[in-house]
Amino acid sequence: MQIKRVSPPSVEPVSLDEAKAYLRIDGTDDDALLTRLIEAARERAEEYTRRAFITQEWDAVYDDVTADYIELPRPPLISVTGVYYTTDAGEQTLATSAYYVDSISEPGRVILLSSGWPSRRSKAGLRVRYSAGYGASASSVPGPIRQAIITAVGDWFEACGSVAVGEAINELPSGAKATLEPYRVRQL
């Protein structure tokens, strides 16, 4: 399985004003840097937890699918736009009456209701487009996740004078990881 983000989140879980208040920064001199740090912290936290925080659209592409369901990465699942399969004639749309969307389970699933998946090519033959995340606004993201992001921003901002800042941004601080641990999703 491969996944690709089709559309990114429209907002960040932590605003620039929240980051500035946390760091006790007045003025706008550091706004561009803080904005980049917020985005980087969200991306690292999403990778660490294997979740989508703010509503995003994804494509999950599967090779050989033999089970009667497929799990969709990056929970929580909001909705499925469509299930598509590729044949020699090109990409086809699977009728919505042929599957059920289980958005309660985590990760969410597409459950086949008929006797089997349609015939398709074996490599990258099945694609699911779906939306995932806690919601469209920052307030819909759980508080501990938001706190972990702002903690990472604070740690990275304080490290900006250090030579290893580039390396530091590649890794979430241990305090942020500890806060995010309950939100980690098992590897699909």
Q: Which residue has the higher pLDDT, 180 or 166?
A: 180
20/60 same-domain check:
no
pLDDT given at position 116: 77
122/166 same-domain check:
no
Does the residue 127 lie in any domain?
A: yes
Domain edge (last residue) among 132, 152, 167: 132
162/178 same-domain check:
yes
Edge-to-edge, what's the strand order for the sheet holding 56-62? 2-7, 56-62, 126-132, 77-87, 90-93
Does the residue 35 lie in any domain?
A: yes
Does the residue 6 lie in any domain?
A: no
Number of H helices, E strands in the chain: 5, 8
46/93 same-domain check:
no
65/125 same-domain check:
yes
Domain edge (last residue) among 104, 132, 160: 132
Number of domains in the chain: 2
60/128 same-domain check:
yes
108/77 same-domain check:
yes
pLDDT given at position 161: 58
Does the residue 4 lie in any domain?
A: no
127/88 same-domain check:
yes
Give residue-wise pLDDT tens across range 10-57: 999 999 999 999 999 999 999 999 999 999 999 999 999 999 999 999
Give residue-wise pLDDT tens across range 115-164: 778 877 778 889 999 999 999 999 999 999 999 999 999 999 988 755 45
Does the residue 78 lie in any domain?
A: yes
pLDDT given at position 165: 46
Domain edge (last residue) among 89, 116, 132: 132
Does the residue 5 lie in any domain?
A: no
41/64 same-domain check:
no
105/150 same-domain check:
no
45/62 same-domain check:
no
Does the residue 172 lie in any domain?
A: yes
Q: How far apart are CA 71 and CA 107, in angstroms?
A: 6
Residue 91 phi, psi dihedral angles, 5° rounding: -80, 135
Does the residue 7 lie in any domain?
A: no
Q: What is the domain extent for residue 98?
A: 56-132
Banded pLDDT at 107 (limits 50, 70, 90): very high
Give residue-wise pLDDT tens across range 60-92: 999 888 889 999 999 999 999 999 998 888 899
**Residues 6 or more apart whose Cβ sits within 8 Å of residue 98:** 83, 112, 113, 114
pLDDT given at position 154: 94
